[in-house]
Structure 1
Amino acid sequence: MTSIPTREHWINTDPGRLYAKAWMPATDAGESVPIILFHDSLGCVELWRDFPVRLARTTGRQVVAYDRLGFGRSDRHPGHLDGRFVHDEAHGAFTALRNQLKIGRFVAFGHSVGGGMAIGCAASFLEDCTGLITESAQAFVEDRTLQGIRAAQQSFAEPGQLERLQKYHGDKAAWVLSAWIDTWLAPSFAGWNLDEALGRIRCPNLVIHGEHDEFGSLLHPQRIADLTHGPAINRILKGCGHVPHREAPETVLELIDSWLDASDDRMVS
């Protein structure tokens, strides 16, 4: 199997530097629209594991992933996440990434809360976002989501569990865990939703969700597909939980590749 060249970047922002990595298949030659990955609440570039290289190889497109501020190899976050952190990503870190890497048009692909950020970016850059892929995204605050977070909170309280995060986030691990749990469980966050952003989206939309997702019911993919104005395809993966790209990678890659081909055909016609 042929290797794919990679390139690492440091993105400068006012609060601190962000780490980014790009996978660049030779078949792309800079002609296709790149796929930008938005990680989940405990994630980072490294936690995507081999999915980005497989995605680049399967689609023949450049794939770019970055660590949000406070995560992975990026600098520390100077404070706490507020209730607008999902919406603000589009005009903060993501805009800095686009400017420095000279990214024009893009496909936004987000997992979990990263799916919400991908939605925000698609809604903010209507002319440049040619496609939106959400995987296990939450569109509103649901009891099932909060129950899953509380269960994870208890799990991480066990001896040795925080060390699992330290492997990827270093001494920022405690902040990463707190940012997830404290933000979502805060009473002030209870009314959060993506309805307004979803209503502005016009690009094609692929919605992927596991039928057994412990952090969100099937109401989330249905709401995402129903509220966007672009052509939407809703795919529920049987037997999958919250991380379909790890639990059923071949299925996810095939779905994305065929959907991108169909989306490109629509743009040409």
Structure 2
Amino acid sequence: MTDGLQYCWDDAGSAGEVRIGDVLLETYTVGPRPGQAPTLVLLHEGLGCVDLWRDFPQQLFTETGCGVFAYSRAGYGRSDPCPLPRPLDYMTREAVSVLPEVLDAIGFMDGVLIGHSDGASIAAIHAGARRDPRVRGVVLMAPHFFTEPMGLQAIAEARTAYADGDLRARLGKYHMHVDAAFRGWNDAWLDPGFEEWDIRHYLDEVAVPVMCLQGDHDQYGTRAQVDVVAQRARGPVSIRMIPDCRHSPHLEAPETVRAEIKAFLAGLAGGVALPNTGDSDA
């Protein structure tokens, strides 16, 4: 067991925790440990956490045979809280400072970052800014690289739903510090200064293969958010627009997403060998 690391890898899945500096983060692991197979690292959305991946980690392991690691960032799920307000560059800070420490702590040796929404942006920033040779590719689900009026409007509507609807109660089932989790995300995105937020320049240094998965009815971003990856990334980029899908492809079109990820892993140059060569539909 690594210092500050309390969890185990097994085929049934295991909840645990990892300490990064003074902050305790909740984790979930399933499948073989790093070094025994490639590791898929899941980076959640702006209101996500370990539990909100639902059965996606287990299904990824079943489909690919890779180890899967997910963690809740500070302020989310059962992780320690984080100071508010969040800085407007909170995704960059996570990508260049926290995520590398997490990867080191789990003994990450070889694999792929799979991010959703904020987590996809964090994965892209990490790939461009850090260029960690252990990261063989990135999968970006519903990423965002710059603000769009329709996305900001949807985030403003979420604020209303949180104040006047049932969103707070629903999120409270998953986040110990629910007000901090929501405000940390929502207040940052609706800060007037955030309208100028733009991380496209990180894509210019992304040299690993990238897969983009986006719903064609995504309420938080248009196709421009994935087209910019193909326009600027240095490595090969594939884009799959998923019909009749909104902001959460892995939950709304899980079979399609798992099949795309499995094909992406199998096609990586130099080979991320899949331990499980079966064609399970589980």
Q: What's the TM-score once normalised by structure 1's chain length?
A: 0.92
Q: Is the 8 A contact 2:142 2:213 kept in 1?
A: yes
Q: Indicate how the Cα distance of structure 1 residues 87 and 97 shifts in structure 2: closer, same or farther if over 3 A, else same.
A: same
Matched position secondary structure for 1:90: helix
Aligned-pair CA distance for 1:265:
5.6
More displaced stretch, 62-71 vs 147-156:
147-156
Q: Number of matched residues? A: 263
Residue 241 (structure 2) pairs with residue 239 (structure 1): no
Residue 136 (structure 2) pairs with residue 130 (structure 1): yes
Aligned-pair CA distance for 1:89:
1.1
Specify the code of the residue in structure 2 equivalent to 1:228: A
Alignment match, 1:200:
205
> Whole-Å Cα distance in 1 between the matches of residues 34 and 201 of structure 2?
36
Matched position secondary structure for 2:138: strand
Q: Is the 8 A contact 2:35 2:110 kept in 1?
A: no
More displaced stretch, 79-88 vs 204-213:
79-88
Matched position secondary structure for 1:131: strand
Aligned-pair CA distance for 1:96:
2.2
> Whole-Å Cα distance in 1 between the matches of residues 84 and 185 of structure 2?
13
Q: Is the 8 A contact 2:85 2:187 kept in 1?
A: no
Matched position secondary structure for 2:204: helix
Alignment match, 2:171:
165
Alignment match, 1:248:
253
Aligned-pair CA distance for 1:122:
1.4
Aligned-pair CA distance for 1:125:
2.8
Aligned-pair CA distance for 1:226:
1.6
Q: Is the 8 A contact 1:202 1:229 kept in 2?
A: yes
Matched position secondary structure for 1:110: strand
Q: What's the TM-score once normalised by structure 2's chain length?
A: 0.88
Specify the code of the residue in structure 2 equivalent to 1:169: H
Aligned-pair CA distance for 1:131:
0.5
Alignment match, 1:34:
39
Which 5+ residue runs of structure 1 have no aligned equivalent? none
Specify the code of the residue in structure 2 equivalent to 1:36: V
Alignment match, 1:68:
73
Superposition pairs of residues 1-269 of structure 1, within 5 angstroms:
4-24=11-31, 30-123=35-128, 124-170=130-176, 172-264=177-269
Matched position secondary structure for 1:10: strand
Q: Indicate how the Cα distance of structure 1 residues 29 and 156 shifts in structure 2: closer, same or farther if over 3 A, else same.
A: closer
> Whole-Å Cα distance in 2 between the matches of residues 11 and 103 of structure 1?
13
More displaced stretch, 87-96 vs 71-80:
87-96
Aligned-pair CA distance for 1:105:
2.6
More displaced stretch, 104-113 vs 86-95:
86-95
Q: Indicate how the Cα distance of structure 1 residues 29 and 155 shifts in structure 2: closer, same or farther if over 3 A, else same.
A: closer
Specify the code of the residue in structure 1 equivalent to 2:47: L
Specify the code of the residue in structure 2 equivalent to 1:14: G
Aligned-pair CA distance for 1:43:
0.3
> Whole-Å Cα distance in 2 between the matches of residues 16 and 214 of structure 1?
33
> Whole-Å Cα distance in 2 between the matches of residues 95 and 130 of structure 1?
15
> Whole-Å Cα distance in 2 between the matches of residues 176 and 13 of structure 1?
19
Aligned-pair CA distance for 1:267:
7.4
Instruction: Indicate the structure whose relative CO is greater, using CA pairs within 8 Å and at least 6 residues apart.
Output: 2
